[in-house]
Homo-oligomer: A and B are copies of this chain.
Amino acid sequence: MHRTKVKVAEDALDANETIARANRDDFDRASVRVVNLMSAPGAGKTSLLERALADLDGVRAGVLEGDVQGSADADRIAALHVPVTQLNTDPSFGGECHLDANMVRSAIPSLPLDHIDLLVIENVGNLVCPAEFRVGEDARVMVASVAEGEDKPLKYPLMFRTCELVLINKVDLLPHLDFDLDRFLYNLDAVNPDVARMKLSARTGEGVDEWRSWLARLPDRVAAAV
Contact = CB atoms under 8 A, between A and B. Distances in A.
A197 interface: no
Given A155-B67, A155-B69, A178-B203, A97 B128 contact: yes
A136 interface: no
Contact of A173 (B127, B152, B155, B176): B176
A126 B39 CA distance: 11
- Interface size class for chain A? 35 or more
Q: What secondary structure prevails in chain A residues at the interface with B?
A: loop
A52 interface: no
A147 B125 contact: no
A50 interface: no
> How many copies of this chain sit in the oligomeric assembly?
2
Interface string A70-113: 10100000000000000000000001110000000000000000
A41 interface: yes
A43 B157 CA distance: 18
A42 B191 CA distance: 18
B97 A157 contact: no
B41 A132 contact: no
A134 interface: no
B151 A72 contact: yes
A145 interface: yes
Interface string A141-153: 0000101110110
